[in-house]
Amino acid sequence: MTTSIRDLRKWKSEGKKFTMLTAYDYTTARWLDRASIPVLLVGDSLGMTMLGYPDTLSVTMDDMIRHAGAVVRGAPNALVIGDLPFMAYHASAEDAIRNAGRFLQEARVQAVKMEGGGRVIEYTRQLAAMGIPVMAHLGLTPTFVNQFGGYRVQGRSDEAAEQILNDAKALEEAGAFAVVLEGIPSTLGERVTKALAIPTIGIGAGPHCDAQVLVIQDVLGLTPDHVAKFVRQYAKLGDAIEAAARQFDQDVRDGAFPTPEHEYSAR
C-alpha cells in the first residue's frame, strides 16, 4: 500500500524510525521501491547529481517536473515528494500555489517541500488549506548558500538555535506534515524532535530525529568528489561502474565480446 502522510505521523507517535532517500529517475526509484523505502524525495539536489551544476540554484520547475514524474512512475508504493526549487515560491504566494499545483497535477507527487521559515510559514498554511501537503526544511538549507557564505552548519549560537526551533513550531502550526533538519548540531535536532508532534527527518542533524534522509548518490558511492561528514556509503557503485566499463572496453578490443551466445542466427 502506498505510504501516506498519515503514516509518518503515526510512526512518530509509535516511536518507529523511518527513512527517506532522494531519487531522480525511474530505474533507481524502482529499486528503492522494491527495497520498501517508504518516502522518496525528488530533491533539487538533482541540480548537482543529475545536471552537473555546482549548486541547486539553476534548477527549474520544468527540470523538477520531468524527474518527479519518472520517480512517481517507478515507485507506486512510496510517498513521493517534489522539492520546490529556487524561485518557484520566492516572489509570491501565487507562485507557490501554482508551482506546487503543477507538481501534483503534472508529476503526480503527493506532497511538496519548501526551504526556510519567514514567509514560507504563510505559504505552508495556504498550500495545506488547499490540500497540498507541505514538508518543511530548516537549518543548512542549500538554496541559502550565498546568504550563509557557504555550506556551513547552522543553529550553533543560542539565538540561531532558538530561531530554528521557533520556525519549526510555526511550520507545524501552519500545517506542515514533517520537517527536514539539515546540518545542525545533534542537540538542536533532539530539541526540535521533542518539541514537535510531526516527524523530523534529519540529514546531518544527529541520531535523535524521527527519520533520516540521505542523497542516493552518497549512499551508493556514486559521488565523485568530497563526501560530507554525515554520510555513510552503503555501496561502492562508482567503482563497480568504472570496472564494468573498463572490462567491456577491454573485451571488445580483445575480441572477447560478443561471443556466440550473444549472436542471432539467420533463422
Which residues are catalytically annotated?
182
Could you identify the residue written with the cell 557557504? 150
Asked if 213 interacts with ligand KIV (CB under 6 A), we say yes
| Smallest gap from residue 115 Cβ to ligand KIV (A) | 7
| Smallest gap from residue 214 Cβ to ligand KIV (A) | 8
User: Which residues fall within 8 angstroms of residue 64, CB to CB, at 6 or more apart?
Assistant: 42, 44, 46, 82, 83, 84, 85, 88, 103, 107
Q: For ligand KIV, which is the closer residue by CB, 33 or 218?
A: 218
Asked if 22 interacts with ligand KIV (CB under 6 A), we say yes
Asked if 83 interacts with ligand KIV (CB under 6 A), we say yes
State in Å, rounded, how far the first CA of the chain is from the last one: 46
- Judged by CB under 6 A, the number of residues near ligand KIV is 11
Asked if 70 interacts with ligand KIV (CB under 6 A), we say no
Asked if 203 interacts with ligand KIV (CB under 6 A), we say yes
Q: For ligand KIV, which is the closer residue by CB, 151 or 158?
A: 151
Query: How many whole angstroms separate alpha carbon 198 and alpha carbon 180?
Result: 11
Query: How many whole angstroms separate alpha carbon 108 and alpha carbon 69?
Result: 7
Residue nearest to ligand KIV (CB): 43
User: Which residues fall within 8 angstroms of residue 239, CB to CB, at 6 or more apart?
Assistant: 221
| Smallest gap from residue 45 Cβ to ligand KIV (A) | 3
Stretch that binds ligand KIV, among 10-18, 36-44, 223-231, 237-245 (CB under 6 A): 36-44
Report which secondary-structure segment, H or E, holds 87.
Answer: none
The answer to whether residues 64 and 85 touch, using CB atoms and an 8 Å cutoff, is: yes
Q: Which residues bind ligand KIV (CB under 6 A)?
A: 22, 41, 43-45, 83, 180, 182, 203, 213, 215
